[in-house]
Amino acid sequence: MRIKNFTDVTATKIDNDQARGISARVVIGREDGAENFCMRVFQLAPGGCTPKHAHAWEHEIFVHEGDGGIFGNGAWHPFLRGTVVLVEADEEHQIRNSGTETLTFVCLVPSTAPEL
């Protein structure tokens, strides 16, 4: 068993022309001995966004705090704290923080996917 606080994991900062204001952490992954899944915690600053992208694996998202929107099926869908989302394989998606506070969400992907 491994137990830790997500803030003890060093964040990777992402800020470029496709993604803004992101702090990303692999909180459970290969280094922890996880064989089936990778758990990542993302924090988006107000106005921040992930890149619009698609990939060959599904993933699950839990919005821990903040509010924003997710692009999927050709449209933006608003969400609040407590929202859960299933992004299906090959579905184009993007997340943005439309609020005034940090948006924090947990994302689970299969261990075969890139961790970040």
What CATH number is attached to the domain comprising 47? 2.60.120.10
Task: Note the pLDDT of residue 41.
Answer: 98
* 88 found inside a domain: no
The number of domains in the chain is 1
Asked if 17 and 74 touch (Cβ cutoff 8 Å), the reply is no
State residue 89's pLDDT score.
Answer: 97
pLDDT of res. 16: 96
- Residue span of the structural domain in which 23 resides: 11-82
User: Residue 23 forms beta bridges with which residues?
Assistant: 13, 43
14: Cα separation from own chain's centroid: 12
Spell out the residues 6+ positions from residue 96 whose beta carbon is closer than 8 angstroms to its own.
44, 48, 49, 50, 68, 69, 70, 71
2 occurs within a structural domain: no
pLDDT the model gives residue 56: 96
Q: 43 lies in a domain?
A: yes
Q: Indicate whether 116 belongs to any domain.
A: no
Spans of the chain, pLDDT less than 70: none
pLDDT at 98: 95
Residue 105: inside a domain: no
Does 113 reside within a domain? no
